[in-house]
Amino acid sequence: MAKLSEYSAKRRFEATPEPAPQVPAEGSGPLLFVVQQHAASRLHYDFRLECDGILKSWAVPKGPSLNPDDKRLAVHVEDHPYDYASFEGVIPPRQYGAGEVIVWDCGVYSPDEGGTVFNDRDEAMRRVRAGLAAGKLSIQLRGEKLKGSFALVRTKDEKTWLLIKHRDRFVSAADITMREASVLSGVAVRDLRRAPVHRLAAGQLAPRGTTSAMPTRLAPMLAESADEPFEHEDWLWEPKLDGYRVLAFIDDAGVRLRSRGGLELAPAFPRLVAELRQQAERGMILDGEIVAFDATGRPSFATLQNRAQLKSDRDIAAADRTSPTLFFAFDLLYFEGVDLRSRLYRDRRRYLVQCLLPTPLVQLVHAQEDGVALHAAAMASGFEGVMGKRKDCPYVAGKRSPAWLKVKPTRSAEFVIGGYTQGRGSRSALGALLLGYWKQGALHYVSHVGSGFDTRSLKAVQARLAPLVTRRCPFPEKPEVNAPVTWVKPELVAEVTFQRWTEDDSLRSPIFHRLRDDIDAASVRRPKDPGTKAPSSRTTPASVRSRRARPDAAGGEQSELLAQLDSTRNNVVLHVGEHRIKLTHLDRVYWPADAATRQAALTKRDLLRYFVHVADCILPHLADRPLTLIRMPDGIEGTRFFQKHWTQAKPDFADTVTVFSEHKDEDHEYLVCNNLATLLWLAQSGALEFHVWHSRSTRGADTRVTSTDFSSSLEALEASVLNFPDYVVFDIDPYIYSGKEAKGAEPELNTVAFEKGKEIAFRLRELLEEMRLEPIVKTSGKTGLHVFVPIRRTLDFDAARQVSELVSRHLLRRYPKDITMEWAVNKRTGKIFMDHNMNVRGKTLNVAWSPRGVPGAPVSMPISWEDLVRAHPLDFTLTSVVKGLIYREDRWRNALTRKADMEKILKQAKK
């Protein structure tokens, strides 16, 4: 820890989110490098190398360069703790290094003078220490942006170094710093204050773990079939390549290319072997596909198959010149001593991007979240389809898993050929193939296939079948066919496409596609039938659906409403049960596209779709509560206004409650949203935000008050159930500014403020739990948080306000530097304002699940205390909620029902 004394002396860890020094866990595997972009008083890049449990650090004002002619100044600064490597966040004003920090690049490195030693950590650190002491260190970087050999060279000044790119195939004149986004969050440093960023453990940044010998044999992980692609944040999608699935084993003994069936393919692809040899020296396993392209530039299995059958070195060399084959890598299973199969796919994908050194013939497969868009592009480019992979799945070798999905235009599967029938005319030699799969040691017949052949494929199949002819039928029972049959040994595999499985376990409309030399006939089993329609961009995978809050609006009604909203018309009449709502300007943009959060533009139609999806969640929180709306009929950039009382015409299905106004000695009518039709009607009216009273207009078992006279007089209102709240609320309102607000404006949503608000929320929770109270929390949808203590309706608003004030003042006494209860806005700056006056009759807060009229389309979201630790307001948006990434509403609603007897608590507090 003595090495980090300078780092500690410069920072106040109670004020900065930067990690305090800790003894790191013993590491093994390659050493880590990281480059952090830091928007302090001046934008610069911090270049850091792991060594001896800490990060040796240099500030590089202009950032790294891939041009050897650029000698970039690198100023040696204090050592940083290992945990700092994954730090992304905002260092608050008046703290050392105040400003935004992102992880601009990261990966593994090794000293490379005399050869790399990625797999020998101790030797690597010995060389690093020696190089730094001598004033010259040559290293190979494997990151997402920085690859190849670099040198750190010390000048005459002890702290002044130069960072220089060595000449290798990764040299480029392009400005690499133009790639601005974080390799972890995808956020540019200028957008960090508004965008959600979740801290990753430093040990997850690059391959790291207990070293072990490289496996010599593995079977690849396999996918299940699905009907349609979809878009979901828990999934990534890749184009499905029409080639040979191969595991590439690379070590000091050479390169081995193993097919799905265990065949060794390396002799057929010597140029690929030569380029794969450059990927590692002492151990690497890549999962990928060997692909060949036809004359039009599209992937062609036939071209690849012809290429693989070449035997002579001369023919292979000629084919490599005219139609080279490529290896596309899509998974990394082992790297320099570290077995990665148990790591999640999201981590393995990051390690693959880092560790792969692309060459003309060895490339990285593209991946993205939007499976629908990728599927359309893949089809247009001549690919087979797409592959979907759950980000949180390990690599399950040799098994078919629902965590991997393959989507093709039609279903396809591989079957064993057990014989063929005699045909007619020009097809007399071969009419149809008899197909089956192995089941309990026997070849189970499924169908015959006679379509899909052309002259070339027909001759090729006949030639392959001729040596396998036998008198013995390989099926337990002879299939019933209408032509003479020639039986063959079940050693060849055919891939066929088909419409579906029939009830008698046969194939409907099969079409021959190709022979599969890369698949062992003995391994062929019945493929799983995807059955129901696969998730689309507007549905959620079953494995994700289990995480949803509750059922949405009743299944049938929801589907009908969504179908109506899918109309391409801009104006429609929406049928909600027996009610009719005229919808207009459905394509009007309510939330413009927001680059900082990568949120696409959202329209009125999207708002209505959102409310259909979450109706069962939001309506219980709206029910029976007087409603104040914030309407923005032209979207968040147009005019906005509060609507507290409703004087216009309204539909019959919209409920109201009349409340006496103590200020004007008259009564006013409030809307109450008690049904889905009202919710959708209000959305049509441009209501983007829904704010509710803290009390309900209906009687209940939790109150002794029974009066529902809210309008005859002030006395009647005060004696009614509407004067008794359901909960005490603590409004945590950060007055910590981003620095970009207009003069006099409220603080905008920013990460520093929200993190400080979370800290105070957890301290409030501790205090309330000391009082034996169980608080619950939701995001405001902006920078604040709302903490609730559900109570029996035996305290009126005055008493609830008193409880909130007593607790808040007690918290203020504990943390006076962080909290304020001052009413003067200029005295709140830099602190968290605890507003106990929200506990007043008629005051409102945005209801749970309500959208907010700010960029990014955030939603006020009920959340667990466990999830709050890593939460950001923009984790919960109209888009992410509809995708299914939402908190379990049933848990939050159950928490609301656990009501405390505040009368007793208040008496204790007064004492």
Q: Do residues 77 and 45 lie in contact, with contact meaning Cβ atoms separated by under 8 Å? A: no
Which residue type is seen at 386?
V
Q: Do residues 605 and 586 lie in contact, with contact meaning Cβ atoms separated by under 8 Å? A: yes
Which residues, including other chains, have CB under 8 Å from residue 843's CB and lie 6 or more apart?
A: 693, 694, 837
**DSSP 8-state assignment for residue 910:** H
Which contacts of 123-130 are long-range, i.e. CB under 8 A and separated by 24 or more positions? 124/30, 124/31, 125/31, 125/51, 125/52, 128/31, 128/49, 128/51, 128/56, 129/51, 129/52
Q: Do residues 205 and 85 lie in contact, with contact meaning Cβ atoms separated by under 8 Å? A: yes
Tell me if residue 240 is catalytic: yes
Which residue type is seen at 478?
K
User: Which sign does the torsion angle of CA 232, 235, 237, 243 carry?
Assistant: negative
Place of tokens 């049509």: 684
Q: Do residues 365 and 353 lie in contact, with contact meaning Cβ atoms separated by under 8 Å? A: no
d(CA 630, CA 117): 62
Place of tokens 């379509």: 451
Tell me which residue of 590, 699, 580 sits closest to 636, measured CA to CA: 590
User: What would the two tokens of residue 118 be?
Assistant: 């990625």
Which residues, including other chains, have CB under 8 Å from residue 365's CB and lie 6 or more apart?
A: 238, 239, 241, 288, 289, 328, 329, 330
d(CA 649, CA 657): 15
Q: How far is CA 382 from CA 296, 373, 404, 544, in A?
A: 10, 15, 21, 30
* Tally of CB atoms within 10 A around 661: 14
User: What would the two tokens of residue 704 be?
Assistant: 């002794």
d(CA 322, CA 303): 12
In angstroms, how far apart are the furthest CA atoms of the chain?
Answer: 104
Task: Check 165, 240, 389, 604 and give the catalytic one.
Answer: 240
Q: How far is CA 405 from CA 217, 236, 621, 884, in A?
A: 24, 10, 38, 19
* Tally of CB atoms within 10 A around 645: 17
Which residues, including other chains, have CB under 8 Å from residue 665's CB and lie 6 or more apart?
A: none
User: Which sign does the torsion angle of CA 232, 238, 239, 242 carry?
Assistant: negative
Q: Do residues 262 and 299 lie in contact, with contact meaning Cβ atoms separated by under 8 Å? A: no
- Dihedral angle of Cα 510, 511, 516, 521, to the nearest 10 degrees: 30
Which residues, including other chains, have CB under 8 Å from residue 766's CB and lie 6 or more apart?
A: none
Q: Give one DSSP letter per residue of 403-470, joined into a string.
A: EEEEE-SSEEEEEEEEEEE--SGGGTT---EEEEEEETTEEEEEEEE--S--HHHHHHHHHHHGGGEE
Q: How far is CA 694 from CA 185, 463, 554, in A?
A: 37, 81, 27
Tell me which residue of 219, 223, 518 sits closest to 345, measured CA to CA: 223
Burial of 747 (0-12, 13-18, 19+ CB in 10 A): buried
Q: Do residues 422 and 440 lie in contact, with contact meaning Cβ atoms separated by under 8 Å? A: no
d(CA 413, CA 400): 13
User: What would the two tokens of residue 449 be?
Assistant: 């296939």
Catalytic residues, which ones?
Answer: 240
